[in-house]
Amino acid sequence: MSRVYLFKPFERVWHWCQAALIIFMLLTGFEVHGTYTVFGFEKAVGYHTIAAWSLVGLWIFAGFWHLTTGEWRHYIPTTHNIVVIAKYYSSGIFKHEPHPFRPSLSNKHNPLQRLTYLAVLTLLSPLLWFTGWLYLFYANWQAWGLGQLPLAWVATGHTLGAFLMLAFLISHLYLATTGHKLTSQVKAMITGWEDLEDESLSAKRS
């Protein structure tokens, strides 16, 4: 076994705080949508709004940290070995083949992870934020010249974004269990260190 230090303290705090806020927003958001009752409609709306603004603040800090430390480079998309990674997740993982990507402090995310995170950042998140912002300031639509905008479109877009975020969360949780051990990647996001299988053993297995 070998160990590699991947995640700095701020990354780990940011990751878990973001995860908690997103899960809480899904919980309150689906209650607002009428799926079930936990807090009650009015409280769910209030909690959802507070969590949303908290996440905005967290993202501002995280964006500043990524820009000033250069960590944003880990999210630049690349097609290098993307077919190999895709083949591993579609079939190799079920045959217990070794993972074709070895993370390092200078290259933390594989090509599919980079593309996924980029899509969440540039497509899914703007959909949620823009529709949520319109929802929050619905009373101002007339003054902004948006009186003809169908509320149902905004509601559908926000709900679609919520289901897509839920799908991402579920897939993210599943992939987090596909490391060398079931908990190795989760532990890495707690301690910063990830245990990797020795390259010579990986070669023998392949």
The answer to whether the beta carbons of residues 99 and 129 sit under 8 Å apart is no
Measured between alpha carbons, how far is 126 from 119 in angstroms, rounded to an integer?
Answer: 10
Q: Mean of the pLDDT values across residues 12-28?
A: 97
- Tens-place pLDDT, residues 155-202: 999 999 999 999 999 999 998 888 777 888 899 999 999 888 765 444
Question: Could you give the 3-state DSSP secondary structure of residue 108?
Answer: coil
pLDDT, tens digit (0-9, with 9 covering 90-100), for 116-141: 999 999 999 999 999 999 999 999 99
pLDDT at residue 181, as a whole number: 78
Q: What is residue 178's DSSP assignment?
A: -
- The full set of domains in the chain, from first to last, is 2-205 (1.20.950)
Chain segment 49-103, per-residue pLDDT in tens: 999 999 999 999 999 999 999 999 999 988 888 999 999 988 998 888 888 888 8
